[in-house]
Amino acid sequence: MTEQLHQITVTVNGVARRADAPARRLLADFLRMDLGLTGTHLGCEHGVCGACTVLMDGVPVRACLIFAVSADGHAITTVEGCCDSGGELGPVQQAFQECHGLQCGFCTPGFITTITAYLEENPKPTEEEAREAIGGNLCRCTGYQNIVAAVLRAAEILRERDADQAGAGGAA
């Protein structure tokens, strides 16, 4: 009973990656086991907790519910890819630190990816909308208060950065 392997090519955080894996390998396991990207966490393996959320072509998906073979040819963003280019904390990550949006940090990668995608869609959420935006991710530590605050703060940081860039562009 040797399992047949499939070659899988995905662009992960902007880098083309290739590995062989059996058809039943979950995308989350593929990222973690085959590509060594352990930032994506598994909290339930049945699609409820959202800890495993990654972006597939920019859209949040649960990596515990997708086979790696189905991601072949797609672009994946994981929490590791939510940093700034210099490896500094990205806007959502920075907001989480400022607002104390994490405790054990196990659920956090799924929140970071979810919120990153959400703010693309809605750059200026209200508190109510921020709460809704994270309404599909479980956190057992924080009671969510500071995660909601982090969504709002991340939006603010993004706006500040945009303004800085516009300012810099204008001056040039």
Partner 1 sequence: MSDKLVGQPLVRKEDPRLLRGDGRYLDDLGRGALAAAFVRSPVAHARIADIDVTDALDVEGLVAVYTHEDLPGRVAEPLPLLIPHPDLSHPRTPYCLAKDEVNHVGEAVVMVVATDRYLAEDAAERIVVTYEDLPPVVGIDQARAAQRLVHDEVPGNIAARSVQTNGKGDARGAIAAAPHRLSLDLQIERSASMPMEGKGVLAHWDADDRTLRVHTSTQTSTSVRLAVAAKLELPPDRVEVITPDVGGGFGVKIVHPWPEEILVPWAAMTLGRDVKWVEDRREHFISSAHERGQQQHVEAGFDGSGRLLGLSVEIWHDNGAYVPYGIIVPIVTSTQLLGPYKVGAYRVEFTSLYTNTVIVTPYRGAGRPQGVFAMERTMDAIAEYLGLDRLAVREANLIQPEEMPYDQGLVFQDGRPLIYDSGDYPTMLRMIRELVGWDGFEAERAAAAAEGRRIGIGIGAYVEGTGMGPYEGAHVKVETTGEIVVSTGLTTQGQGHYTSLAQIAADVLGVGVGDVTVITGDTRRFKYAVGTFASRAIVTSGNAVAVAAGKVAEKAKRIAAAALGGGTAPEDLELVDGTVRRRDDPAASIDLRTVAVLSNPLRYAFDEAAKAATQFAAAVGTGDEPGLEATGYYMPERSTFAAGAHGVVVETDPETADIRILRYCVVHDCGVVVNPRIVEGQVHGGVAQGVGGALYERIVYDDAGQLVNASYMDFLIPFATEVPHIQTAHMVTASGVNPLGLKGAGEAGVIPTSAAVASAIEDAEGLAVRRMPISPSELYELRKLHETRKSRKEQVSA
- Sites of contact with partner 1 (CB under 8 A): 1-3, 22, 24-25, 32-33, 36-46, 48-49, 51, 78-80, 83, 87, 89, 93, 96-98, 100, 102-109, 112, 131-132, 134-148
Task: Compute the distance between CA of residue 146 and CA of residue 165 in angstroms, rounded to an integer.
Answer: 28
Q: Does 66 bind ligand FES (CB under 6 A)?
A: no
Candidates 153, 165, 163, 12; CA nearest to 92 is: 153
Q: Of 41 and 71, which CB lies nearer to partner 1 in the complex structure?
A: 41
Residues 133-172 within binding reach of ligand FES (CB under 6 A): 139-142
Q: How far is CA 30 from the centre of its chain?
A: 16
Q: How far apart are CA 21 and CA 35, in angstroms?
A: 11
In the complex, the smallest distance separating the C-beta of residue 134 from ligand FES, rounded to whole angstroms, is: 11
The option from partner 1, ligand FES, none interacting with 62 (CB < 5 to 8 A, set by class) reads: ligand FES
* Strands of 75-77's sheet in order across: 15-22, 5-12, 75-77, 53-56, 59-62
CA distance 22 to 13: 23
DSSP one-letter string for 31-48: IIIIS--TTS--S-SSSS
Which one of 4-12, 46-54, 66-74, 77-85 is the stretch in contact with ligand FES (CB under 6 A)? 46-54
Q: Give how many residues touch ligand FES by CB under 6 A.
A: 23
Taking the least distance from each CB to ligand FES, the nearer of 50 and 81 is 50
Rule CB under 6 A: which of 91-120 touch ligand FES? 102-108
Minimum CB separation of residue 35 from ligand FES in Å reads 17
Nearest-10 Cα torsion for 89, 93, 94, 95: 170
Binding site for ligand FES (CB under 6 A): 42-45, 47-52, 62, 64, 102-108, 139-142
